[in-house]
Structure 1
């Protein structure tokens, strides 16, 4: 069963390469994937949120979710699962960016993107939250497009990021609620 899922993962990447890669789109997808490098886009947004008193709690939520994503995705799971990158094992898959220095599962770019974007979607006015989710989806897809992740890596990043976002929102609201009771 697992071998069959891994085979499907690889076939999806080859299908994307065959039918969805276009020269005009490739440079855009490289730029989009770079937005997720080291979570820098989401870190910068979080810092901006932390600077304004009105959005500080959202900044706390996003920071907590991003730290959780770093720990769960990049420190724990990548090293425990130690999944080889798809471009190293799928015959015919062409890598469009530089080789990655860490393991494949789960996608850290996707995890951090969804961790922060779902916080923003839940806690900011809809137009900002929807924009954040669109960027997160584009970053996630870009990881498949450039050939550095399997679809299951990206799916795991979405799920982990979403869970961490929801836990972070709940935790900050719980802590803030307790603080108000103390005053």
Structure 2
């Protein structure tokens, strides 16, 4: 009798990420911390509101970052409810954190983090996307709560919402 085939496609990629990273010291606790920080975009919105409070000269940019980040999260929730893709459930995938819903596509964490990175980077004049987005995106895979395509689409959606927020801001001046 032939042996059952191992995970394939996105599940195989997810298992590969988990097997190479999840057992390293501090990785799971850091990924869980990032998950809690990014839940419903709350951590990023708080950072942006603090920026608005502390940096009067760039207050408009910080408020745009808060609004754009929250809008990105909302956009991800709308897409989740339309697509209704279930989170990974293969026995080879370890789920290492609780989630507020069973819906996976797209990753709202990747979406809001990307929007926050673009918009807050603009507020401080430093590109934050390469520093903030890859760790959050990878954390979603390490935690076993998203397929790679959920994360990739979330990054693209977050970038699109950030660009739309910037465009709307320019039009309103």
TM-score normalized with structure 2 length: 0.85
Aligned-residue offset at 1:99: 4.5
* Corresponding residue for residue 65 of structure 1: 68
Q: In the alignment, which of 161, 166, 169 is matched to residue 169 of structure 1?
A: 166
Query: Does structure 1 retain, via aligned residues, the 8 Å contact 2:52–2:59?
Result: yes
Task: Say if 1:92 and 1:117 are closer, same or farther in 2 by CA, change over 3 A.
Answer: same
Cα contact 1:73–1:108 (8 A) shared by 2:
yes
1:173 and 1:60 map into 2 onto residues whose CA distance is 14
For residue 36 of structure 1, give the secondary structure of its aligned residue in structure 2. helix
Query: How many aligned positions are there?
Result: 164
Give deviations 1:26-60, integer Å, cap 9, x for gaps: 22222222221121221111212322321212123
TM alignment of 1:1-183, pairs within 5 A: 7-24=8-25, 25-51=27-53, 52-74=55-77, 76-86=78-88, 88=89, 90-126=90-126, 129-130=127-128, 133-176=130-173
Per the alignment, in what secondary structure is the counterpart of residue 84 of structure 1?
A: coil
| Distance verdict in 2 for CA 1:62–1:99, change over 3 Å | closer
The equivalent residue for 2:3 is: none
More helix by share: 1
* Aligned residue in 2 for 1:3: none
- Alpha-carbon contact 1:30-1:146 (below 8 Å) kept: yes
- Over the aligned positions, Cα root-mean-square deviation in angstroms equals 1.8
**When the two structures are superposed, what TM-score results if normalisation uses the length of structure 1?**
0.81
SS in 1 for 2:86: coil
Would the aligned equivalents of 2:87 and 2:145 in 1 still touch at CA under 8 Å?
A: yes
Q: Unpaired runs of 5+ in structure 1?
A: 1-6, 177-183
